[in-house]
Structure 1
């Protein structure tokens, strides 16, 4: 590339291996204020250095565009960083000990919150029950979510506050209160919409707590090389985002997709949202079609292979926020007519099939336009539906780290013969679909390099290789986190690639992920993260502010 802007640079990166995302490599990048001005050779960029230019000598390291996490719950993630984290416990005893420690440190009668537990890899994978919690949480209500966020474990005090006992209440639409088959007593496990029976009794977090959680989350993401996100949370997080924007505290660009049960009353809130710039915008709505595989609430064409005979929800739950498919189609049609982007959670093969039908019907009714409606997760597809994503222009918004988790138990849940169409990264890309990657944090880690490793190696958390036929190259995975994610968020003119005119969001890595063996991708660190031409995060000795060294 040749320079397109001869103004003196405010920041340059030299001696780099720049993956631009635009089909070419470069040695150096120049930035003027918040925008990339030149991408090319060391010589072409050095000519733009002045006395006050900040110079970063990358020392031959790999430079990539800033990562976009295309599916995240950013404030919830920031909250989880300060709460009980059961992600790494490996047994019932470790689980109970961790809860006991949290309860002992909590103030009187305070709720014990957090979670991210998963028992699938334990020696004894029996699901937890309220009896695990009761002896160590006396005086405290407790509610701990599973890692997928689609079920939670409540202790007896939390169940009492929610009025859940052997006599009721009945399961809410789209939810399950798990009960002992003999006594009808609740076990403490609540699935999908039933979680609301307890969560509505949890004291709301303060505005200040929300704001601090957002700041904490942005710092954490910057440290991992993430510079933009597509946030999937509800309107309760907007005040913190608006405050951060107004105070100039944003270090992560946020495109928010508003998660509400009924989109129509919120249309004006979205279309009239007062901020729409490179830092913060509301682009559309988020809804749900089903639950999750781990909770056996993803909606499947056939019952789960390990479902109990005669189980009421043997094939999962459709619409875990109690929005019937016909109603959801009307919501999509209304939002689509207003020019908004629709993103809908669908994991099971039948949920994805119904949603693709809905998107197709809305397109026929409202006429052609550049919609880029999305299916969030798209984990298990009927083989005949894979080509429909490209045909309909529907974005497959996927989270590859979920594959590393689900691979531990999906064979048991579905049966190995039904895995054709599961985590179909390669098949979707080869069919021409736009695929973008994200994390679903705090459900799982937001480390993008752990996600890339899962997409490339097909390695599960218990060390097996699962569905390797759908593995992709590291460059394809990187593209899904940058170029693809930017396009999925209508931001391809601003971010996603290192090109003149785009915002200066870049990351210097501690290793060249395009060259190292696949088993070394996980563990990659962001040495330097630059957002809008500002160095937001740096470690090690990669920075030099002495431009004279390069003259």
Structure 2
């Protein structure tokens, strides 16, 4: 495909959805020096590579993921498809037997909701690993199962102190730790003790993640990362030879904020730091998302407030983030946390690009609050809805299941829904995310409040136009003159697909006017 390696080339005879609100359709497009020079509404005078009617959209954008962690997950034990306790034990044992003697075993992805009955694992499941330290993160990364070897290494405070920090050690009926650490117990006490993978493996993780995303049509991401990785791995291994566009959100959040180091990082068409993140609560699966009313299966538990919200310093954090020129990005899953997030950012101007991440439980009180501020941005994950729908009735009770990410209701208010994955918590595949949004089915394929399903065009906007806006990437997301030439070619028209029974796929990914994945027709057309 020499034609698309040139500075000036074009596509013709295509069905192009541009994402532009006033000019959504075109048939041809000319690219010059990596940018879009023109978009043709009709094919009468078009020339270039003949796409033979193939469907084209802007490159897909994931508005919320963990890029380095996702790349590392492709190189470590993945338990996301484990369907029984016995299989869990066997997979961990096989991994143990394959590792060097001095290496920690780290796994991710398990969920007790994938086996029946949904028994929560304990450290006895890891007993076959001997004296090797073992850490198995739950799919939400808010709980971790560790073996006795790791528990002996940790200097955990007493339960009361840990609770004040927003953490919890799960104990059995005799008061003995089960090996399950939740929230701050896992983040602040366990995570710092886990040895990092060797740098060459972590650098490979960035390369692997880039290739994986490009193969799925993802041309840009908004990723949640720590200072140490942004200044190290990303500066050395991504910014020097980027293959995918990246908007980074800083996870370091201790007040007062130290962000002077961000001036060392590039800010260009490929990479920029755009926001800072705070965690207001936990997750539904771990029963730590903060709710206005207790969990149906745990009547004494409304979940947990975290960090700045717990310390009553959320407004202070927001003020500091905005004063430093960054966007406040807030993890809020339960309705109490979402309400706190709305109140914290409701008076900010739109150009601050503040976002509420996840916003999974939106009860009528939240819908009412959003109706008064429909210009807010939510960054949500359709695959989380599909996953959590499986146990929503148990956790929330039948009367609240309809409040689990009610996409159609919230979108109907005018609220902007940027779509992402939260990879590696769930699959990064945006077409799987679109399917979840369009069909409103759970991960088992069962209908779940299908009145909240959205249309194909709205799903596309969530993964292009609105994701670009949320990520502060205004040079992509729409196919129009002046923006960068990032687009994907589909194997079929997604508007013509019965998403309940089939899914389209990406056959080519173009970034900055160059083919990054797949193939385009070799045939040239000239009028």
TM-score normalised by length of structure 2: 0.93
Offset from partner CA, 1:364-387 (integer Å, 9 cap, x none): xxxx56222110001112323225
CA deviation vs aligned residue, 1:416-463 (integer Å, no higher than 9, x gap): 112343202112211111110000000000000100111111111122
The answer on 1:352 being equivalent to 2:338 is: yes
Residues 257-272 of structure 1 aligned to structure 2 (within 5 Å): 257-262=249-254, 264-270=256-262, 272=263
- SS of structure 1 residue aligned to 2:39: strand
Q: What CA deviation, in whole Å up to 9, does each residue of 1:474-510 have, x standing for no partner?
A: 1101111101111112323x11111111100000112
Displacement of 1:252 = 1.1
Alpha carbons of structure 1 residues 325 and 173: separation in structure 2 relative to 1, 3 Å: closer
Distance 1:9 1:236 in 2: 37
Counterpart pick for 1:125 among 118, 131, 136: 118
Root mean square deviation, CA, Å: 2.2
Shift of 1:170: 4.8
Distance 1:10 1:98, change over 3 A: same
Are 1:543 and 2:524 matched, yes or no? no
Report 1:239-258 matches (<5 A).
239-247=232-240, 249-258=241-250
- The answer to whether the 8 Å contact 2:246/2:272 transfers is yes
* Structure 2 counterpart of 1:479: 461
- Look up the match of 1:5: none
1:371 equivalent in alignment to 2:358: no
The alignment partner of 2:102 has SS state of coil
Gaps of 5+ in 2: 1-5
CA distance in 2, matches of 1:322, 1:162: 24
Deviation, structure 1 residue 264: 3.2
Where 2:103 maps in the other structure, the secondary structure is coil
Question: Which residue of structure 2 aligns with residue 448 of structure 1?
Answer: 430
Mark the CA change 1:389 to 1:257 in structure 2 (over 3 Å): closer, same or farther.
farther
Q: Distance in 1 between matches of 2:521 and 2:357?
A: 38
Residue of structure 1 equivalent to 2:179 = 188
1:380 equivalent in alignment to 2:361? yes
CA contact (8 A) 2:210 2:244 kept: yes
Matched residues in 2 for 1:199 and 1:317: separation? 19
Q: Secondary structure of the equivalent of 2:165? A: coil
CA gap of 1:335–1:164, structure 2 versus 1, over 3 A, is closer
- Tell me the SS of whatever aligns to 2:482: coil
Secondary structure class of the residue paired with 2:322 = helix
Residues 245 and 279 in structure 1, CA contact (< 8 A), matched pair in contact too: no
Q: CA deviation digits over 1:145-183, x for unaligned, max 9?
A: 11111111111111111146999985561111101121x
Q: Secondary structure at the residue paired with 1:113?
A: strand
Q: Structure 2 residue aligned with 1:409, among 391, 394, 414?
A: 391
Q: TM-score normalized by structure 1? A: 0.89
* 1:377–1:399 CA contact under 8 A, matched in 2: yes
**1:325, distance to aligned residue in structure 2 (A):** 5.2
Identify the residue that residue 114 of structure 1 maps to in structure 2: 107
Give the whole-Å Cα distance in 2 for the aligned partners of 1:29 and 1:339.
35
Query: CA shift at 1:64, angstroms?
Result: 0.8
Q: Shift in Å at residue 273 of structure 1?
A: 4.4
Cα distance in 1 for residues equivalent to 2:14 and 2:67? 31
The aligned residue for residue 16 of structure 1 is 14
Match runs of 1:421-432 below 5 Å = 421-432=403-414
CA distance in structure 1 between the partners assigned to 2:156 and 2:370 by the alignment: 42
**Distance between the aligned counterparts of 1:461 and 1:31, measured in 2?**
40
User: Which one of 323, 328, 342 corresponds to residue 342 of structure 1?
Assistant: 328
Of 507, 511, 523, the match for 2:488:
507
One of 166, 190, 195 as aligned partner of 1:198? 190
Q: Separation in 2 of the partners of 1:74 and 1:104? A: 28
Contact 2:257 2:320 in 1 (8 A): no
Moved more, 408-417 or 255-264: 255-264
Q: Partners in 1 of 2:97 and 2:238 — Cα distance?
A: 37
Partner of 2:445: 463
Deviates more, 1:26-35 or 1:385-394: 385-394
Q: Find the partner of 1:315 among 278, 295, 302.
A: 302
Can you list the C-alpha shifts for 1:327-364, whole angstroms capped at 9, x where unaligned? 1210101222333211000000001111211223x64x
2:46 — aligned with what? 45
Contact 1:87 1:116 in 2 (8 A): yes
Residue 274 of structure 1, CA deviation: 3.6
